A and B are shown apart, each in its own frame.
Chain A
Amino acid sequence: MNEREPGTVEEITGKYVHVDVNGTTQRVYFEEAGPEDGIPLLCQHTAGCNNQEWRHLLADEEITDEYRVIAYDLPFHGKSVPPTGQEWWEEDYTLTADRFAATIVAIADALELEDPIYMGSSMGGNITLELADWHPDRFRALIGLECGAYSPGFYIDWLDDPHVNTTEVNAYSCWGLMAKQSPEQTRRETMYLYEQGATGVFKGDLYYYSVDHDYREKLGDIDATECPLYVVNGEYDYLTTPEDGKEVAEGVGDGCVSVEIADIGHFPMSENPVLFNAYLKEILADITGERSGRLPEVLTPDDVGVELNRTEARAVRREAEEAE
């Protein structure tokens, strides 16, 4: 996808914004595309990765025609290096719910975003529950991709261990989080992005994801009538399943809807951007009121007119059979 003529310059721009997070100045890198007065769509990457996961959304002209898509690197990730003025190398990087939510709100404030839609996946999906609970007045809507009330078991010591190749292991411990029917090129790209994380950052993020985030007893504290909450989970996500998404929606009640997205996994925007962007258009249309009727419990490729690449595998097989 996104094969363009040589010489094509894409409309995406990259900038830095200085952000005050709990008294510390962070120099945050972000990329954006779309009209300045478009509806801001603020995009958070997954644990241990960076804003490149949103590269195909930023290049989707149907979406950037209407939305100002902004994808940032959380501090310590991608081009948002650790803060100057702190001796950060003397302690392990550890992300907490407080620090994570405060950073997201501070970025929205620093960019002076008016009524932005927030969207994040994995740890970026889970944090929609804290944002919905603590900052419902700051956002127009929250989209929690691969969101669950509790996602234990992924704070794993081997992901920051001198005896293993953490670059590779951090990536390939996530390989099975994607659906096998997502295109191999984009699945491989997703792993390539994962291999770019700094030592200890993935594990530090997973402290939030698998330890500090636990909303099992607190879903009732969220009033999603103030700020609509969409919990959107992929069929192949074994960490936060569509069933987990339904439990969140049931626990939160009014204003929260869960949608299962079929044939896709835990990195939907990155592993299968064509299918995800088509699914996302349905969610965004629901937020803006352009969609008639309720969102279905399950969105499928047929619903959004996307053909999966199974045919590619079958073509390879046929070719091999014919050669015999």
Chain B
Amino acid sequence: MTEAELASHEWWEQYKETVNSDPEMQVRGHDRFNENFYVQLDDERFLVAMDDGKVSEVIPNPGLNQEWSFGVEGGRGAWEEFVQEVPPAFNHEIIASNYRTQVKGESGHLQLTGNNRQIFQNLRPFQRALDLMRHTHNNGGNL
């Protein structure tokens, strides 16, 4: 398990390495995943810049000079649950979290923001990129 705190500089460096060496991001055309997305934990926002299925950089506190297509927002507690090796139900995947938030009106889950068309056009690699946060946090494994 990585010793770094979730979303610390060291953690994101490890994440970048995990994504960029992931074979799944390079199959079935996902090497064309070029949509930047952001991850927000409480008030901290990180822009994950994607370049042909690889993370080119992670930019804290992105501003007017950056662009992104979509993002995921949630409290740090929800993210801490999401990256657990065996995450609890409903914070174990983004569509699950988003459904409990948007359709069921529950709090404490992650929520999607941004351009829905671009989310669905890139759903699989975007989802994989998020799952790789769990891989980063737990040093691999199939969960």
Which residues of chain A have a CB within 8 Å of any CB of chain B?
Answer: 152-153, 158, 161, 163-165, 168-169, 172-173, 175-177, 179-181, 183-184, 235-236, 238-239, 309-310, 312-314, 316-317, 320-321
Contact = CB atoms under 8 A, between A and B. Distances in A.
Interface of B: 1, 28, 85-87, 89-90, 92-97, 99-100, 102-103, 116-117, 120-121, 123-124, 127, 134, 138-143
A320 B103 CA distance: 40
B85 A310 contact: yes
A152 B103 contact: yes
B120 A161 contact: yes
Nearest to B99: A238
11 contacts: A152-B103, A164-B120, A164-B121, A168-B123, A168-B124, A176-B93, A180-B92, A180-B143, A239-B99, A309-B142, A316-B142
> Which of B28, B89, B117, B124: most chain A CB closer than 10 A?
B89
A299 to B, nearest CB: 15
B20 to A, nearest CB: 17
A313 B95 contact: no
Contacts of A176: 92-97
B141 A172 contact: no
Given A158-B120, A238-B90, A153 B103 contact: yes
A254 to B, nearest CB: 29
B95 A169 contact: no
Contacts of A316: 140-142
Contacts of A169: 120, 123-124
A181 B89 contact: no
B102 to A, nearest CB: 7
Contacts of B127: 172, 175
A317 B121 contact: no
B77 to A, nearest CB: 18
B34 to A, nearest CB: 15
Contacts of A164: 117, 120-121, 123
Contacts of A183: 142
A176 B90 CA distance: 8
B123 A317 contact: no
A235 B90 CA distance: 9
B139 A317 contact: yes
Contacts of B120: 158, 161, 163-164, 169, 173
A98 B111 CA distance: 35
A262 to B, nearest CB: 10
Given A175-B127, A238-B89, A310 B143 contact: yes
Contacts of A310: 85-86, 143
> Which of B86, B120, B138: most chain A CB closer than 10 A?
B120
B33 to A, nearest CB: 12
A310 B141 CA distance: 9
A238 B139 CA distance: 27
Nearest to A187: B142
Contact of B142 (A158, A312, A321): A312
A169 B125 CA distance: 11
B138 A317 contact: yes
Contacts of A173: 95, 120, 123
A321 to B, nearest CB: 7
A317 B140 contact: yes
A179 B85 CA distance: 12
B139 A184 contact: no
Contact of B139 (A153, A179, A320): A320
B126 to A, nearest CB: 9
B142 A184 contact: yes
Nearest to B116: A158
Contacts of B99: 153, 238-239
Contacts of B100: 238
Nearest to A262: B89
Contacts of B134: 180
Contacts of A309: 142
B139 to A, nearest CB: 5
